[in-house]
Amino acid sequence: MEPRITHRFFGRRFGRPLSNARRELILNVLPEMEITCKAAATIDGIFDPSIKKLCLEIGFGAGEHLADMVVKRPEVGFIGCEPFVNGVAALLARTQSRDTRVRPKNLKIFPDDARLLLPYLPAAIVDQIYVLFPDPWPKKRHHRRRLICSENLDQFSRLLRPGGVFHFASDHMSYVRWTLQHLCKHSDFDWLADGPHDWRFRFKESIQTRYESKALSSGCSCVYLTFRRRHQIV
Ligand SMILES: C[S@@+](CC[C@H](N)C(=O)[O-])C[C@H]1O[C@@H](n2cnc3c(N)ncnc32)[C@H](O)[C@@H]1O
């Protein structure tokens, strides 16, 4: 099943030329770890039956956060989406064990635009979605390229189990406001914020990502938002 090409991707797909070792990972290891749209539609056979929870990370960049979660939470199946080939190679390098034949059992990679995959995944099967430091597209005429938009939130709502959560982090305050406005307008989500501790501190269990480190070291503050998929849609 080929993904339907309905969206144009505006980010980068390639960066610096890959080292031989990373090119090998893309050629030989990625095919074993890749999730296709066809496989997504019948997700049941994808992970070991002992894995009962599913988590998506969209735009994992160089994969620091995702690689760390995969090790910390072996009982959770992770699907990471990232169209930037150098990022995919970086994730594969991080998740390689010393025995290069061993692959993490709880990780699948979609090396493309997440919007192509999401419609194929069955409804209400995801427990957590992470979107960490997405491209902010600061110019007004580019806002429509932002990952957070009502169409993608409809997909997140469809995929999350009732009570499942969506985590968003950014250091770009216009994007934070944009996200809050979109989520508060959407009838399927509640913002889980009791006080500033809810948005000033990184999510439990999460480590710093590359973009987060860059933001913090240049003196920017980061905001962390968590939204829960409502049990009953009003
Ligand atoms: C600013 S980087 C942040 C990377 C990482 N999350 C971090 O915090 O270091 C945003 C990433 O999102 C990816 N991205 C953008 N649109 C995407 C989409 N539609 N599906 C999957 N990834 C996407 C980009 O390729 C880029 O690597």
> pLDDT tens digit string along 50-89?
898 999 999 999 999 999 999 999 999 999 999 999 999 9
Tell me how crowded residue 189 is: count the other CB atoms within 10 A of its CB: 22
Instruction: Please say if 194 is a catalytic residue.
Output: no
Dist CA 214 CA 211 (whole Å): 5
CATH number 3.40.50.150 is the correct assignment for the domain at 15-121: yes
The CATH class given to the 123-190+206-234 domain equals alpha beta
- Full-model pTM: 0.95
Give distance in angstroms: CA of 188 to centre of ligand 1: 24
Tell the residue number behind the tokens 């905001």, with chain if given. Answer: 223
* Residue ranges in the chain whose pLDDT is less than 70: 1-6, 98-101, 233-234
Three-class SS of residue 78?
Answer: strand
**% helix, strand, coil for the chain, step of 5:** 40, 20, 40
Q: Is 212 in the pocket of ligand 1 (CB under 6 A)?
A: yes
| Contact assessment for residue 169 and residue 132, using Cβ atoms and an 8 Å cutoff | yes
